[in-house]
A and B are shown apart, each in its own frame.
Chain A
Amino acid sequence: MGSRTHQPFPVALYAGLVVALLGLVRPGPLRAVESVAASVALLPLRAWAAVVGPRPGAAAAPAEARELAGERVTAALRQLERAASRRPAAIPVDWWPVVARVVDRRGPGEGRTERLVLDLPRAMLGPRALDSVTRDGTLLGFLDPHGLPPTDADGRPEPLAGLAQVRLVDDAGGPFGPRRVPVRVDAGERGSFEALVEPAAPIDRWPLRLAMLGDPYLAAEVRQGPFAVWTSGLEDDPLGALPVGLRLGTLRVFGYRDGPERALVIGLYVEPDQRADALAFVVLWVADRALAQRAQRAALDARPLAGGRLDEVQLLRLDVAGATRERWLATCAGAVLRPLPRGAAVVDGERLLGVLDAAGLGSGVVAAFGQPGRRWSLTLVPATAERAPVELRARCVARDGDLVTLAADEPPPVELTRGAQLATGGDGPDLPAFVWIGPVLATDGARFVVRHVDPLRQPPQAWVHTRAAGGAAR
């Protein structure tokens, strides 16, 4: 019998699979290689696009519609600024609000955000900023005393260096470990008890847990709320003063239920009122009115795409298999080697068309908004000026022509969705919040239908938005 001519167990392939598994968990180092390789692999398609691809034509949405959308978005931003900056009773009157846009959310993985990067240089605020960061009277986290460092944990240059950063209450990885928050829990008729709130374990159902209970006997008797959890403050807190009376969230009981009145409590948790992975804006507090006004002007421009770079691209439709069905090859109309970042917004004026899914030098592949399976951070702008915009996370379920069906993680109130407009909620530095998507047409519980122009109908004029380099966007 002759020798075998193939290797039955290919070790190199198995090693490749292990590397891919590591790349799945920690994608950073492979992303740069993938970007360059994708640029080269897309060269034949670029050549094809140069021969047969469409030239930029008339915009698919009428100019009046885009102008109207721009006005609505500007008005909505002002609504949000007014609503978000209402002073909670816990904040002293000599502190002034600064509404800041969230430019990036960071954490150990999808669905778990521990830090928010704000579109505001940290140096601008100086030492006269309160370290508690709020939104609608709720404590979200603490302002980092320093801006983002010039390099990240892997030693690569940090594109958002110098920007202010908020460590959420559930961030366990701060420079001094987690910051525990003293709280008071209103347990209904049974009275109230004091406790400390600290980050929960990743396996826990809620991100915060109660520890060091002031009255363990009362805590053991607590039933499922809803009971509010408020900051209580400590005298001589070594980490700085904490406003008393800010809401933190809702008490949640984890344990065994034994009838309506009995339960074996295993743990007490806090569910935050605000979902950090949906937040597009937060409120900082500054002890100087003039500084607050200056910072506010720098932090919140009415035009979400202002200050960034817009590269004109040509789009070529590509049929792809799977649920997505189609993609668009975007080719830079000007500089052929312009680096286009993954995750950048592809826009037509003020309107979102999609996002760059695979990107490289001078070209990329665009996933249009509405392709099934993709999750988005969104902002719902109510029709009435009295209601403030609401941020939410939603997954695209289906697309039928111009109509996109989305399923929200938490159903938005029906009165908010009626006649509302949908805009982005920000997904990374190059896809800012408040880029217009389209009007909401119908709602059914957590599902709602949005009219979004079908790029298939007419190849639109498109631009790729890239955030300006450096800490200050504008």
Chain B
Amino acid sequence: MALVLWFVLAPLWFLLDGWLAAQLPVRCDLAAALCLTLGFATRASAVPALLACGALGRAALEDGDLSLHFLALGIPVAVLLPARSLFDERSFVVRAVACGALALAVPRLTVAFAELSGQSAAPVSPGLGGVLATMVLGPLAARGLGRLPPLRTFRADRPLRPGVAP
């Protein structure tokens, strides 16, 4: 049920992204916040389905098809998931750095895959202001997204890192 709810709510997350981009002087990339939520705060087994819903929501509103957005969002998530074992994913610094990297990576991956497949996608540079805004606001947005229904249903148990007592 939670997955169905996320399926219909995912486009609204990207609509919120567009609405905020129109209202704020600098853009906080909510696609980066979604990747952060899926990579750091979601059960790994649930990630593919949640990612497919997110990619579909993004494909419905922006240039490019489902495959393109699944790859553009999924590759950063695939990098973040194993990184849980290496870093304290609850640390704000780690989350901010990850958000900054995602704000740079997701648009570039989108354009790269669009060029590879001959689809339309205008290159977007987030700019320094956009990256900083995503570093500050992205972790907060990701925390909110992960704690609210429907994604809270899929929250990961805290992983164990080497040297951390169970």
Cα–Cα, bound, A80→B76 (Å): 51
Distance (whole angstroms) from the CB of B110 to the closest CB of chain A: 8
A303-324: CB near B (< 8 Å → 1, else 0) gives 0000000000000001111111
Which of A26-34, A261-269, A287-295 makes up part of the contact surface? A26-34
| A472 close to B (CB within 8 Å) | no
The verdict on B108 contacting chain A, using a C-beta distance below 8 Å, is no
Taking the closest CB of chain B, its distance from the CB of A325, in whole angstroms, is 8
Assess the B66–A10 pair: CB atoms within 8 A. Answer: no
Contact check, B43 vs A24: say whether CB atoms are below 8 A apart: no
Whole-angstrom CA separation of A40 from B52 in the bound complex: 14
Contact at B67–A327, with CB atoms within 8 Å?
no
Number of cross-chain contacts by CB at 8 Å: 181
- Quick check: A367 and B63 within 8 Å, CB to CB? yes
- A244 is an interface residue with CB less than 8 A from chain B: no
A1 to B81, CA, bound (A): 21
B128 at the interface (CB under 8 A from A): no
Cα distance A319–B47 when bound, in Å?
Answer: 27
With A6-B84, A12-B45, A358-B59 as given contacts, are A320 and B78 in contact (CB-CB < 8 Å)?
A: no
CB neighbours (8 Å) of A319 from chain B are 15, 18-19, 21-22
Q: Any chain B CB within 8 A of the CB of A13?
A: yes
Residues of B within 8 A of A111 (CB): 118
Contact present for B84 and A322 (CB under 8 Å): no
Distance to closest chain A CB from B145 (angstroms): 16
Interface size on B, residues (CB 8 A): 63
Bitwise, A1-28 to B at CB < 8 A (1) or not (0) is 1101111111011111100111111010
A16 & B51 in contact (Cβ 8 Å cutoff): yes
Contact B44 A13 (CB under 8 A): yes
Assess whether A357 is interfacial by the CB under 8 Å rule. yes
- Please state if B82 and A324 are interface contacts (CB–CB under 8 Å): no
Per the bound structure, the CA–CA distance linking A109 and B119 in Å amounts to 10
Q: B94 on the interface (CB 8 Å rule)?
A: no
The answer to the question of A61 belonging to the interface, with a C-beta cut-off of 8 Å to chain B, is no
Cross-chain contact A10 with B7 (CB below 8 angstroms): no
Find out whether the CB atom of B124 lies under 8 angstroms from the CB atom of A323. yes
Complex Cα gap A12–B50 (Å): 12
Determine the distance from Cα of A23 to Cα of B116 in the docked complex, in whole angstroms.
12
- In contact, B44 and A7 (Cβ under 8 angstroms): yes
Question: Within the complex, what minimum Cβ distance (angstroms) separates A211 from chain B?
Answer: 28
Q: Is A110 an interface position by the 8 A CB rule?
A: yes
Of the candidates A25, A38, A318, A375, the one whose C-beta lies within 8 Å of that of B120 is: A375
Given known A5-B159, A319-B15, contact A109–B122 (CB-CB < 8 A) = no
Q: For A37, what are the chain B residues with a Cβ–Cβ distance below 8 Å?
A: 7, 56, 66
Instruction: Tell which of B7, B29, B77, B107 touches A41, judged by Cβ atoms closer than 8 Å.
Output: B7
Could you say which of A4, A13, A110 contacts B78, with CB atoms under 8 Å apart?
A13
A159 within 8 A of partner (CB): no
Of all chain A residues, the one with the shortest Cβ separation from B117 is A24
Q: Are A358 and B81 in contact (CB under 8 A)?
A: no
Whether A324 and B166, one on each chain, are in contact in the complex, defined by CB atoms closer than 8 angstroms, is no
How many angstroms from the CA of A4 to the CA of B159 in the assembled complex? 6
| Interface-side segment among A42-50, A191-199, A384-392, A404-412 | A42-50
Contact check: which of B7, B8, B63, B75 meets A324 at CB < 8 Å? Answer: B63
Q: Which of B58-92 contact A (CB under 8 A)?
A: 59-63, 65-68, 70-71, 74-75, 77-78, 81-82, 84-85
Given A5-B158, A16-B51, A110-B117, A31 and B60 touching (CB < 8 A)? no
Residue in B61, B65, B118, B123 whose CB lies within 8 Å of A318: B61
User: B54: shortest Cβ distance to chain A, in Å?
Assistant: 11
A145 within 8 A of partner (CB): no
B113-147 CB mask vs A (1 if < 8 Å, else 0) is: 10011111111100000000000000000000000
Q: Which residue of B lies closest to A375 (CB)?
A: B120
Query: Given that A37-B56, A42-B11, A319-B15 are known contacts, is A5 also in contact with B63, CB under 8 Å in the complex?
Result: no
Task: Tell whether, in the assembled complex, residue B66 and residue A25 are in contact, meaning their CB atoms are under 8 Å apart.
Answer: no
Complex CA distance for A111 and B113, rounded to whole angstroms: 15
Q: Contacts of B166 on A, CB cut-off 8 Å?
A: 1-2
* A434–B154 alpha-carbon span in the complex (Å): 51
Q: Are A41 and B63 in contact (CB under 8 A)?
A: no
Q: Contact between A318 and B156 (Cβ–Cβ < 8 Å)?
A: no
Shortest Cβ distance from A10 into B: residue: B44
B18 — which chain A residues lie within 8 A by C-beta?
Answer: 318-321, 325-326
Contact in complex: A322, B63 (CB < 8 Å): yes
Q: Is the CB of B48 within 8 A of A10?
A: yes
The verdict on A374 contacting chain B, using a C-beta distance below 8 Å, is: yes
Residue A365 at the chain B interface, CB threshold 8 Å:
yes
Query: What A residues does B74 contact at CB under 8 A?
Result: 13, 16-17, 20
* Interface residue A92 (Cβ < 8 Å from any Cβ of B): no
- Asked if B60 and A42 sit within 8 Å, CB to CB, the answer is yes
CB pairs A–B below 8 angstroms (17 shown):
A1-B166, A13-B47, A15-B48, A16-B51, A17-B70, A20-B66, A24-B113, A30-B65, A42-B60, A111-B118, A321-B21, A321-B62, A322-B107, A373-B121, A373-B123, A374-B120, A374-B122
Residues of A that sit less than 8 Å from B by CB: 1-2, 4-10, 12-17, 20-25, 27, 30-31, 33-34, 37-38, 40-45, 109-111, 318-327, 357-358, 365, 367, 371-375
Q: Which 4 A-B pairs have the closest CB atoms?
A: A110-B118, A373-B122, A323-B122, A23-B67
